[in-house]
Chains A and B, each alone.
Chain A
Amino acid sequence: MTDNKYRADFPIFEKHPCVYLDSAATAQRPKCVIEAEKEFYETMNANPLRGLYDLSVKATDAYERSREEAASFIGASSPDEIIFTRNTSESLNLVAYSYAMDFLKPGDEIVTTVMEHHSNMLPWQMAAEKTGAKLLYLEPDEEGSFSDDEIMTKINDRTGLVAIGHVSNVLGCVNPVRKIADRAHRFGAVVVVDGAQSAPHMKVDINELGADFFAFSGHKLMGPMGIGVLYGRRELLEKMPPFLTGGEMIENVTLKGVTYAQIPHKFEAGTVNAAGAYGLAAAIRYIKDIGFDEIRRTEDELCERIFEGLSKSPHIHIQGSKDPQKHNGIVSFTIDDVHPHDIASILDADGVNIRAGHHCAQPLMDFLGVQSTARASIYLYNDEQDVAAFVEKTLNVRRWLGLES
């Protein structure tokens, strides 16, 4: 029996019993989120934002209330600053296309880091190429920390935009966003924060962080797939051109041209994912009810167990900080002479689900000097049994390949 009282909220563990340790890729969903999507389609489904009848008004209300929940979740002062997207990748691309491409020029510099997920790297590579801006990468030390010197040298009066991940999807470390943002703002640069791995695990306040843009996905915080959020500071959003054009984002269209709708609708072309937004709001309420302190406690405890367990083998190496509290539930590791894909397959045979590969962070793999890693990641529904099974199977992996344990 599990001692985790939240586990029963997740139907997947009953219908497909498994040890799920891949929440950094996507979380599982509690019943209340699944029910919310169903409730939307069963009781308030119509095309929001355009119908003149009661049902459409209901759909619109549900969608706009979800926007308010998302705004308050990250401390945005107005729901107008919340744009619903499909996911973090789309949110970051929106900033690259509608901000960077229009407001950066040759000679400007874009600063990001080598530890970014490809989603927070490729849009800036593209923006640099199109605008003639130069792209610079901050390099961390072995534990994933950026030195003051690195920050001071690379962020300067040429910097136009800084894009940084709040929590690394490989190392699990929290980056010093506030310090970087303060430096960037001194030179009038805008700060884009990839919150995909932080928003599910810690209280985010965009004002405390100093973020001008903050992106996160619904599916990593137990919401539905296909709904994501971009927070943008009002003055920036108002001066940016739309990302996609089409339905729902206009004020007036003639054969000669168009006046766009106000924010946030200017950035939400076409029929929106209202049911997804409604499900996301349910996930946010679920998290708020439990509280981040409680989520954090479970993650830290289990992470510590993993560190203890894996330390029994001299052949297992954990990437990043030696301190489990600095991993935010993300443990990337390698085993001597074993390819991470073999680790994942061997664990899968016993129903232990982990990720293996480059985690969409190939430049970080190169930087760490590994080709790929295996990664176990924890969320609030995991329990001691999960960790015990994972540790036992992982300690046994080398034996399966005919190597000494």
Chain B
Amino acid sequence: MSLESVYGQVLNEHNLHPFHKGETEGATLMLEGKNPTCGDDIFLQLKVSPEGIIEDGSFQGAGCAISQASVDIMLDLVIGETKERAMELCGEFMNMIQGKATQEEIDDLDEAGALKDISHMPARVKCAVLGWHTMEEILKK
């Protein structure tokens, strides 16, 4: 695996200039996610309408480039979608990180597909899924 395939433009852009870092006004759901191996944590906020549409979302916390970019890309993808669609993307992302996703699933993940080679970096899987796992926990409740 080449380093370029992970630390590429998409990841660097989202890490250096995260679009969704901050607070969500009128957030309805929030949860802290923790990566026990490094102690990094993120605080995820989502604003979900009574109809179940994720209208807005944000994250806070410090972390590695992979965890930060991954959660920022995730929010890009799920804002404007239904909770069910967000859960579907979550499942596809988890599959991809475990190296089990189909090409269709990877295509469906759009920019998040840029993180697919993390499946070859077992030490970093937890970083990549931190935000996704936290969202899954919130939406399941």
Q: A residues bordering B, Cβ < 8 Å?
A: 338-342, 344-346, 348-349, 356-358, 362, 371-372, 400-403
Contacts and interface: CB of A to CB of B under 8 A. Distances in A.
B40 A371 contact: yes
Nearest to A397: B7
A307 to B, nearest CB: 25
Interface in B1-46: 1-3, 6-7, 9, 12-13, 15-16, 37-40
A342 B64 contact: yes
Given A342-B65, A342-B66, 19 more contacts: A339-B40, A339-B63, A339-B64, A340-B38, A341-B64, A341-B123, A345-B6, A345-B124, A346-B3, A349-B1, A349-B3, A357-B39, A358-B38, A362-B39, A372-B39, A401-B7, A401-B16, A402-B12, A402-B13
19 contacts: A339-B64, A339-B65, A340-B64, A341-B64, A341-B66, A342-B64, A345-B124, A346-B7, A349-B2, A357-B37, A357-B38, A358-B39, A371-B40, A372-B38, A372-B39, A400-B7, A401-B7, A401-B15, A401-B65
Contacts of A346: 3, 7
Given A339-B65, A401-B12, A402-B13, A345 B37 contact: no
B115 to A, nearest CB: 13
Interface string B54-89: 000000001111100000000000000000000000
B62 A371 contact: yes
Nearest to A339: B64
Determine which residue in A349, A356, A402 has the highest number of CB atoms from chain B within 10 A of its CB, and name it. Answer: A402
A218 to B, nearest CB: 25
B129 interface: no
A349 B37 CA distance: 20
Interface in B75-128: 121, 123-124, 127
A398 to B, nearest CB: 11
Contacts of A341: 38, 64, 66, 123-124, 127
Contacts of B2: 349
Interface of B: 1-3, 6-7, 9, 12-13, 15-16, 37-40, 62-66, 121, 123-124, 127
Contacts of B63: 339
A145 B60 CA distance: 35
- Which 8 pairs from chain A and chain B are nearest by CB? A339-B64, A402-B12, A349-B3, A341-B64, A400-B7, A342-B65, A342-B64, A357-B38
Contacts of A358: 38-39
Nearest to A338: B65
Contacts, number: 55
Contacts of A339: 40, 62-65
A372 B2 CA distance: 26
A342 B16 CA distance: 13
A402 B3 contact: no
Contacts of B38: 340-341, 356-358, 372
Contacts of B37: 357
A371 B35 CA distance: 13
B7 A403 contact: no
Nearest to A365: B39
Contact of A371 (B3, B12, B13, B39): B39
Contacts of A371: 39-40, 62
A78 to B, nearest CB: 42
A341 B37 CA distance: 10
A341 B65 CA distance: 9
Determine which residue in A338, A342, A358, A372 has the highest number of CB atoms from chain B within 10 A of its CB, and name it. Answer: A342
B17 to A, nearest CB: 10
A341 B62 CA distance: 12
A289 B42 CA distance: 51
A401 B7 CA distance: 6
A340 B127 CA distance: 12
Nearest to A362: B39
A400 B8 CA distance: 8
A358 B121 CA distance: 20
Contacts of B13: 402
B15 A345 contact: no
A284 to B, nearest CB: 33
A400 B3 contact: yes
A371 B124 CA distance: 17
Nearest to A350: B3
Given A400-B3, A401-B15, A402-B13, A345 B121 contact: yes
A340 B63 CA distance: 9
Contacts of B40: 339, 371
